[in-house]
């Protein structure tokens, strides 16, 4: 379970006398185990910054993050061990094979060789990556790279999974496969958070949706709750009304 | 799920995991690997053998070949011209009209102008004037000029001596002191002097930035390729991550140093006796040099890692190479301008100067004292530790992780 409370983050503005930019302002939400929580918002809404605070790469200025009861600031190591993260930056080492990429992260998570081999087998099957598992990742397609990055993020079998725009740049078939994979993670009882700027995708997958725009949480709830809140039948209309723009409706 | 309980991963296992991965990654990049490892070992013998060959060629052609020079007014001093010819210095059949212009234009290295009154002065027993015309800034004229002046002096002394004898005086009385100069340096040893300046320099540069590609690539490059953020999101201790990267770069640096030292030994043996006499190329000396250079390898990789972690891009990190390349050379140039005796202890605490002095000492076959070793190792390892801590500190900063 991941709990975010009153997160705030500002960045220094560029140039002299520039005002600091408030990237995330008072963001709170809770992501439960066995559920997929979607962070929905247009580009530049502060989704990536919020996620970075969740996976301990950034310190929030105010507020706190708790993952499975561990505090992200004071117990960052414990949080990192129970988290699997697919960051916005998902570069893989191009001179290593997909399997070696995964094994490297397994080692850094403290797994034994046998555990790494077993997890790699399971993840490769679930992500359908067996046929390119032993190839060097140089020349991989975007989908193959993303799958490699997801597998390496989950090699230590984490209870909590954070994915930053996982379907970005993927074709329809790969996206479908990925959705099935996320549902599988949910069925295993994990807490899954993913961010997206595509409404349809969030609607298709999520148990709970957190709508973020301009660094603030505009609305939070199940799809039904959001429809009720906006007073519309249709989730798309609800989204437009809640963030006050049509941006992000069309992928 | 959750069959595996999360466990801690220690500093050392992180460091070795990262080092192994970086070396594996690097070893698959064949071209860069070959360039990094073989450049030093190949350049060294080329400089050593090539420069030796060039010096030798110059010596041979200019010392032994009959020298033909322009002599203006040779009809005024036939005896002198005859004497010069017996010394292998012959007069040109058709000397240029304007010898000064010819020398300025580098058509001739040296010319003799025999004074109009040479015959009269000679007969009167007053000094008969002969001018040696030359350009002293041209180094390739050194040897011809030396030969001509030496021959003139010999001739002058011989004739002067005979005049004294003719007057019944022992010519020895005019020489209050008999100064004889003996230059024991062989041509090989002279080549050695040059190399003993160049060798520490090459080794210093190589040790300092030999692993540069790897240090930059594993920090600035990794961030640019967007694989640093996932790496930093793992529970592996940051100090272990950065140490592993530095260790990998240091391994590459040391390997290239060892290869260079071996190439150096090999080419010193190939180049012949004088070189080996001039410089100590035993395995013990090589081992000592390696010990001198090891702290420098750590200093270099730590500094480069720190710089790369501060740079916004690989390009920015690489832009630092210009001054980094000059830093090791500064003490060598300073020493050329202001030679210091390598006895004072403070010199062994100054980075680059200390390595320079130590390498020079070792290559001359001297042994640094225990005190000098102690000061050197303490100072350089302390600096390495400080830079290492700076790199670790930088890796713990939030800004590092975020690319673009």
CB atoms B228 and A89 under 8 Å: yes
Chain B contact present for A118, CB below 8 A: no
Domain that holds residue B287: 11-55+187-401
- Same domain (yes/no): B237, B337: yes
ipTM of the modeled complex: 0.90
Chain B contact present for A149, CB below 8 A: yes
Domain membership of residue B382 (yes or no) is yes
Domain membership of residue B234 (yes or no) is yes
Identify which of B352, B39, B365 has the alpha carbon closest to the alpha carbon of residue B204.
B352
Chain B contact present for A5, CB below 8 A: no
Residues A29 and A37 sit within 8 Å (Cβ to Cβ): yes
State the nearest Cα–Cα gap between B394 and chain A, in angstroms: 14
Contacts of B9 in chain A (CB under 8 A): 108-110
Q: For position B1, what pLDDT does the model report? A: 43
Domain membership of residue B182 (yes or no) is no
In the DSSP assignment, the letter for residue A3 is E
Domain end residue (candidates: B174, B195, B217): B174
- Same domain (yes/no): B50, B80: no
- Same domain (yes/no): B265, B359: yes
- Same domain (yes/no): B324, B223: yes
A–B interface: beta-carbon pairs under 8 A: 101
| Phi-psi label, residue A81: left if phi above 0, alpha if psi -120 to 50, beta otherwise | alpha
Contacts of B228 in chain A (CB under 8 A): 89, 91
CB atoms A89 and B24 under 8 Å: no
- Same domain (yes/no): B156, B254: no
Domain end residue (candidates: B118, B141, B174): B174
Domain membership of residue B242 (yes or no) is yes
- What count of other Cβ atoms lies within 10 Å of the Cβ of residue B398? 12
Chain B contact present for A236, CB below 8 A: no
State the nearest Cα–Cα gap between B255 and chain A, in angstroms: 22
Q: For position B381, what pLDDT does the model report? A: 94
- Same domain (yes/no): B100, B155: yes
Identify which of A242, A217, A247 has the alpha carbon closest to the alpha carbon of residue A228.
A242
Q: Which of A14-18, A73-77, B85-89, B379-383 has the highest mean pLDDT?
A: B379-383
As a whole number, mean pLDDT of residues A86-92 equals 89
Chain B contact present for A140, CB below 8 A: no
Domain membership of residue B312 (yes or no) is yes
Domain membership of residue B2 (yes or no) is no
Closest residue in chain B to residue A86, using alpha carbons only: B230
- What count of other Cβ atoms lies within 10 Å of the Cβ of residue A45? 25
Per-residue pLDDT of chain B (404 residues; tens, 9 = 90+): 444 455 677 899 999 999 999 999 999 988 888 888 888 788 777 877 777 777 777 767 766 678 888 888 888 888 888 888 888 888 887 777 788 888 888 878 888 888 888 888 888 888 888 888 888 777 777 778 888 888 888 888 888 888 888 888 888 887 777 777 665 555 555 556 666 677 788 888 888 888 888 999 999 999 888 899 999 999 999 999 999 999 999 999 999 889 988 887 887 777 665 555 556 678 888 899 999 999 999 999 999 999 999 888 889 999 999 899 888 888 878 887 887 777 788 888 988 889 988 888 887 778 888 999 999 999 999 999 999 999 999 998 888 877 54
- Same domain (yes/no): B116, B237: no
As a whole number, mean pLDDT of residues A201-210 equals 90
Chain B contact present for A186, CB below 8 A: no
Q: State how far the Cα of B69 lies from the Cα of A171, in Å rounded to an integer.
A: 85
Contacts of A83 in chain B (CB under 8 A): 233
Mean pLDDT in chain A? 89
- Same domain (yes/no): B152, B110: yes
Contacts of A104 in chain B (CB under 8 A): 17, 21
Residues B347 and B375 sit within 8 Å (Cβ to Cβ): no
Q: State how far the Cα of B333 lies from the Cα of A126, in Å rounded to an integer.
A: 64
CB atoms B9 and A110 under 8 Å: yes
As a whole number, mean pLDDT of residues A99-103 equals 96
As a whole number, mean pLDDT of residues A47-61 equals 92
- Same domain (yes/no): B22, B137: no
Q: For position B243, what pLDDT does the model report? A: 95
CB atoms A89 and B28 under 8 Å: no
Closest residue in chain A to residue B229, using alpha carbons only: A89
User: How many domains does the structure of chain B reveal?
Assistant: 2
pLDDT at A103 over 80: yes
Q: For position B2, what pLDDT does the model report? A: 44
Q: State how far the Cα of A213 lies from the Cα of A39, in Å rounded to an integer.
A: 10
Sheet holding A2-11, edge to edge: A21-31, A2-11, A62-67, A70-71
- Same domain (yes/no): B155, B193: no
Q: For position A96, what pLDDT does the model report? A: 95
Domain membership of residue B353 (yes or no) is yes
CB atoms A109 and B402 under 8 Å: no
Closest residue in chain A to residue B9, using alpha carbons only: A110
Contacts of A91 in chain B (CB under 8 A): 222, 225-228, 230
Chain B contact present for A250, CB below 8 A: no
Residues B49 and B271 sit within 8 Å (Cβ to Cβ): yes
Domain end residue (candidates: B140, B174, B208): B174
Domain membership of residue B179 (yes or no) is no
Domains of chain A, earliest start first: 1-82+159-251 (3.40.50.300), 90-157 (no CATH)
Residue A137: pLDDT band by 50, 70, 90 thresholds?
Answer: very high
Q: For position B342, what pLDDT does the model report? A: 73
Q: By a Cβ cutoff of 8 Å, what residues of chain B touch chain A? A: 1-4, 6-9, 13-14, 17-18, 21, 24-25, 28-29, 222, 225-236, 398, 401-404
- Same domain (yes/no): B234, B274: yes
Q: For position B184, what pLDDT does the model report? A: 58
Percent of chain A whose predicted confidence (pLDDT) is above 90? 64
Residues B36 and B210 sit within 8 Å (Cβ to Cβ): yes
- Same domain (yes/no): B195, B144: no
Q: State how far the Cα of A246 lies from the Cα of B150, in Å rounded to an integer.
A: 97
Bridge partners (DSSP) of residue B70 are B111
Chain B contact present for A24, CB below 8 A: no
Contacts of B24 in chain A (CB under 8 A): 96, 100
| Tokens encoding B166 | 């003719």
């Amino acid at each position: 379970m991941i709990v975010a409370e009153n997160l705030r983050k500002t960045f220094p503005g560029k140039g002299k006398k520039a005002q600091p930019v408030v990237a995330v302002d008072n963001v709170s939400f809770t992501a439960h185990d066995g559920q997929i929580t979607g962070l929905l918002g247009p580009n530049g809404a502060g989704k990536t910054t919020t996620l970075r605070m969740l996976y301990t790469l950034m310190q929030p200025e105010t507020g706190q993050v708790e993952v499975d009861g561990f505090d992200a600031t004071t117990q960052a190591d414990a949080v990192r061990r129970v988290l699997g993260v697919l960051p916005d930056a998902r570069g893989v080492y191009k001179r290593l094979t997909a399997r070696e990429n995964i094994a490297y992260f397994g080692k850094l998570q403290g797994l034994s060789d046998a555990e790494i081999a077993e997890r790699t087998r399971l993840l490769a099957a679930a992500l359908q990556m067996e046929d390119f598992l032993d190839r060097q990742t140089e020349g991989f397609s975007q989908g193959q790279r993303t799958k490699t990055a997801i597998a390496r993020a989950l090699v230590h079998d984490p209870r909590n999974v954070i994915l930053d725009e996982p379907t970005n740049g993927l074709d329809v078939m790969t996206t479908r496969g990925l959705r099935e994979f996320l549902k599988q993670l949910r069925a295993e009882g994990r807490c899954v958070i993913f961010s997206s700027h595509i409404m349809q995708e969030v609607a298709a997958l999520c148990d709970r949706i957190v709508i973020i725009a301009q660094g603030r949480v505009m609305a939070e709830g199940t799809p039904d709750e959001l429809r009720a809140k906006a007073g519309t039948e249709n989730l798309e209309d609800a989204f437009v009304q809640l963030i006050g723009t049509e941006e992000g409706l069309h992928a | 799920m959750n069959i595996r309980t999360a466990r801690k991963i220690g500093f050392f296992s992180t460091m070795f995991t990262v080092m192994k991965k970086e070396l594996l990654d690097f070893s698959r990049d064949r071209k860069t690997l070959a360039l990094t490892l073989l450049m030093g070992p190949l350049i060294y013998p080329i400089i050593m053998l090539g420069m030796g060959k060039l010096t030798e060629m110059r010596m041979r052609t200019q010392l032994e070949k009959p020298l033909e020079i322009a002599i203006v007014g040779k009809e005024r001093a036939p005896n002198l011209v005859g004497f010069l010819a017996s010394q292998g210095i012959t007069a040109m059949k058709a000397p240029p009209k304007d010898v000064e212009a010819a020398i300025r234009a580098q058509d001739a290295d040296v010319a003799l102008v025999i004074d109009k009154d040479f015959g009269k002065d000679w007969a009167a027993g007053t000094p008969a004037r002969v001018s040696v015309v030359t350009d002293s800034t041209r180094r390739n004229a050194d040897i011809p000029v030396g030969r001509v002046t030496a021959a003139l002096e010999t001739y002058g002394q011989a004739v002067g001596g005979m005049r004294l004898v003719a007057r019944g005086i022992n010519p020895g009385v005019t020489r209050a002191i008999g100064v004889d100069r003996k230059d024991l340096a062989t041509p090989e040893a002279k080549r050695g002097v040059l190399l003993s300046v160049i060798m520490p320099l090459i080794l210093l540069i190589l040790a300092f930035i030999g692993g540069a590609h790897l240090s930059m690539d594993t920090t600035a490059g990794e961030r640019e390729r967007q694989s640093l953020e996932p790496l930093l999101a793992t529970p592996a201790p940051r100090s272990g991550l950065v140490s592993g990267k530095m260790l990998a770069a240091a391994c590459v640096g040391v390997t290239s140093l060892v290869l260079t030292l071996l190439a150096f030994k090999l080419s010193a043996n190939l180049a012949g006796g004088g070189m080996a006499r001039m410089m100590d190329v035993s395995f013990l000396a090589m081992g000592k040099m390696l010990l001198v250079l090891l702290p420098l390898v750590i200093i270099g990789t730590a500094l480069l890692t720190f710089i790369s972690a501060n740079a916004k891009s690989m390009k920015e990190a690489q832009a630092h190479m210009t001054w980094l390349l000059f830093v090791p050379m500064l003490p060598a140039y300073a020493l050329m301008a202001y030679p210091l005796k390598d006895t004072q202890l403070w010199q062994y605490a100054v980075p680059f100067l200390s390595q320079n002095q130590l390498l020079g000492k070792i290559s001359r076959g001297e042994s640094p004292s225990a005190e000098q070793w102690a000061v050197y190792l303490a100072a350089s390892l302390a600096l390495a530790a400080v830079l290492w801590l700076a790199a670790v500190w930088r890796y713990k900063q939030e800004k590092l992780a975020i690319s673009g």
